[in-house]
Structures are given as C-alpha cells and as structure tokens.
Amino acid sequence: MMEHQDETRAAYDGVVELYASLFANRLEERPFSRAMIGTFAELIRATGNVRAADVGCGPGHLTAMLHDLGLDAFGLDLSPAMVDHARRAHPALRFDEARMESLPLEDRTLGGILAHYSMIHTPPAEVPRLLAEQARVLAPGGLLLVSFFATEGPEPVRFDHKVTPAYSWPVDRFGEMLVEAGLVPFARLLHDPASERGFLDAHLLARHP
C-alpha cells in the first residue's frame, strides 16, 4: 500500500493547478452528481449530526459545496499540495493531510462521508480496508456517498487515468463490499458516462446501522 499511495500522492502533487482549474466548476455540467450530493446532504441534516468529511477532497470544491448545503464539512486528502491549494481557495474551511486507511478521526463521530471518485486509484484488494475505516468513523445512522467509475463486467478493470492508473468496478460487487464493511446500501444511481472513457458513472448511498 505504501508504494501505491506514494505514487498517487506524487502524481496529484504534480497537477494541482491544472486539476483544480478543470474540476472547480465541473459539477455545473454533472446534474446526476449534484443531485446525489444534494440528497446526501439533506439526509445528513435530518439526522442532526451534520459533521461530514470529504475524503479525498482534492482542491476542496466539493467540501465547499457540502458547507453551502448546511453541513459542518471538512476535507482530507493524501496530497499535501492539494491540501495547500484547498486551504488557499477556501480559507474558512478546514483541510488536513490524511491517509484513507487511517483517518485521523475518533470512532462513530461523523454524520457523513463523501468519497467522490477518491478510491478509484486504490488496488481492488485494498478497497475493503478503506471502507472498513470509513465505517469505523461513521456514527450510527451516518451516511456514506461513494462515487466511482463502473463496469458492466464481473471484475474490476484497471485503466490509464490521466493522472495515475485507476480502476472501474462492477456496481453489485462494490455494494457487497459495503455490506461486508458493516454498512447498509439503500440507494444507487448508475448513468451513462460523462467522459470519453466509456465507463458508467456510479453513485452508492449507504447507512451505518
């Protein structure tokens, strides 16, 4: 895991300004993602625990969106350069460097976690560990919204992402991993691709029981 994470961190450290310029307003043309994030925030507000982590926050644009939707949102990212950019772009919000397999959070404290395409670079054998860590920090009734590239085949597919190699997932298989992590999937959205890669875009909502 260490080698993989070092490679991912270095890759994103090297494209911060370009990445931020490309994605800062990306959701303006992605209505499905906006709808799922809005639903996620509404459901979290209904629980009364509005503390939410944007895990793999990148330049912080979605952390800011969660804040605007009424959540006590903060961002965590592996890349120190991304964290630095997010702090400069959104000085009123909190951003910290963190590894997804060891989140710097106490057990059962969060009302929500957003993982927006932030696990796509993780080798398949390591994803269950990340999901278990997210389940650890979610309070009972807390929600996870995870988004990823989906494939219709039976196994994850490795592909050449523009930043660093990534994986697409069968949606049912990913849902099974959520269950194994102790979460309860209750909603999904699967739609045609918004990019030239041709993979479907998938969004899964799960609840900590």
Beta pairing class for 166-168 and 157-159: antiparallel
Comparing 110 with 25, the larger pLDDT belongs to: 110
What pLDDT, on a 0 to 100 scale, did the predictor assign at position 114? Answer: 98
Neighbouring C-alpha atoms within 13 Å toward the C-beta of 198: 4
Question: Can you tell me the mean pLDDT for 113-127?
Answer: 95
d(CA 168, CA 201): 9
* pLDDT bucket at 3, cuts 50 / 70 / 90: low
Question: Can you tell me the mean pLDDT for 91-104?
Answer: 96
What pLDDT, on a 0 to 100 scale, did the predictor assign at position 163? Answer: 67
Kind plus residue range of the DSSP H or E element containing 8? helix 2-13
Residue 79 has pLDDT above 50, yes or no: yes
Question: Can you tell me the mean pLDDT for 201-207?
Answer: 97
Taking the whole predicted model, whether its pTM rises above 0.75 is answered as yes
Question: Can you tell me the mean pLDDT for 185-191?
Answer: 96
Q: Which residues lie below 8 Å from residue 3, measured CB to CB, with a gap of 6+? A: none
Instruction: Enter the tokens of residue 7.
Output: 């490679």
What pLDDT, on a 0 to 100 scale, did the predictor assign at position 1? Answer: 46
d(CA 58, CA 197): 21
Residue 84 has pLDDT above 90, yes or no: yes
* pLDDT bucket at 64, cuts 50 / 70 / 90: very high
Cβ neighbours around 191 below 10 Å, total: 14
CATH of region 2-192: 3.40.50.150
Beta pairing class for 184-191 and 51-55: unpaired
Q: Give the DSSP letter of residue 102.
A: B
- Picking from 152, 142, 161, the residue whose alpha carbon sits closest to that of residue 190 is 152
